[in-house]
Amino acid sequence: MLEKNLSSELVNTAYKAGLVIMDIYKKDFNIDIKNDNSPVTIADQKAEELILSDLSNKFPNIPVISEEAYSNGIIPDFSNEFFLVDPLDGTKEFIKKNGEFTVNIGLIKNGYALMGVVYAPAKKYMYFCDENNNAFELKINNNFSGSLKDAKKINTNSSKEVALTAITSRSHNNSKTDDFLKNYNIKETLLFGSSYKFCLIASGKADIYPRLSPTCEWDIAAGHAILKAAGGNVYSLDGNELQYGFKKEKFINPPFLARNY
């Protein structure tokens, strides 16, 4: 499929995008509103420019479907293999300056999330999975050289018998979600922004994440791949694994449940 060390290449692309984002994060910036009423900043745009350029140079034969490009009507031809990119997931959290935002790069193969990287630059944590279906957490220090040697393998909390820790969206929670969770034995509910929620389940810090309000494919594909490699998965409410590449649905996901197995 790919001759390059994919996980290393994607981690380094996400890291560079994070540098761009954090440079803007420390300053004042303007906020614009897109046609779907969601906010966008220059950080979204600059990070996407870097990611698209990097992926084009590294993997010229793999199409990239990216949030801001899609918002501008740019949709490449794609078939069974493509990237899904959200250059700044959690723009609302970025604007609030609470650190709960991520860079998402996911690889889709035959409709399924195959590999991904999620980088939370304000928190300095990188999550990714490799070609051998292992998931990792990497603390990014100030002199990060691109090496993955210090990455720590992570796994979900596989126990199905104990009370669960739920995690829900900080900015998009609703009463339907609260009602849905009443079907489970929940001991604690955490609030968090962006795709970082998938990483918290992948690393065993949470167990279940229902999302009943709309999301787009680029919001979750990378996190889905990491969670799956760690022992969990993401399911539509009919119990099937979530799939990707639905152009006719404008890349909008159905309601889903991410969980630890």
pLDDT in tens, the chain (261 residues): 344 589 999 999 999 999 999 999 999 999 999 988 899 999 999 999 999 999 999 999 999 999 999 999 999 999 999 999 999 999 999 999 999 999 999 999 999 999 999 999 999 999 999 989 999 999 999 889 999 999 999 999 987 778 999 999 987 777 899 999 999 999 999 999 999 999 999 999 999 999 999 999 999 999 999 999 999 999 999 999 999 999 999 999 999 999 999
In whole angstroms, give the CA distance from residue 93 to residue 89: 9
Cβ-proximal residues to 171 (8 Å cutoff; 6+ apart), any chain: 90, 92, 93, 193
Whether residue 220 contacts residue 241, with contact meaning beta carbons closer than 8 Å, is answered with: no
State both tokens at 121.
């630059």
Whether residue 200 contacts residue 258, with contact meaning beta carbons closer than 8 Å, is answered with: no
Residue limits of CATH 3.40.190.80 in the chain: 164-259
Q: Is the overall model pTM greater than 0.85, yes or no? A: yes
pLDDT attached to residue 158? 80
CA distances from 63 to 34, 151, 195 (A): 24, 28, 22
pLDDT attached to residue 1? 39
pLDDT attached to residue 172? 77
Question: Which CATH superfamily does the domain covering 6-153 fall into?
Answer: Fructose-1,6-Bisphosphatase, subunit A, domain 1 (3.30.540.10)
State both tokens at 195.
């795709």
In whole angstroms, give the CA distance from residue 69 to residue 128: 24
Residue limits of CATH 3.30.540.10 in the chain: 6-153
pLDDT attached to residue 173? 76
Confirm or reject CATH 3.75.10.20 for domain 164-259, answering yes or no. Answer: no
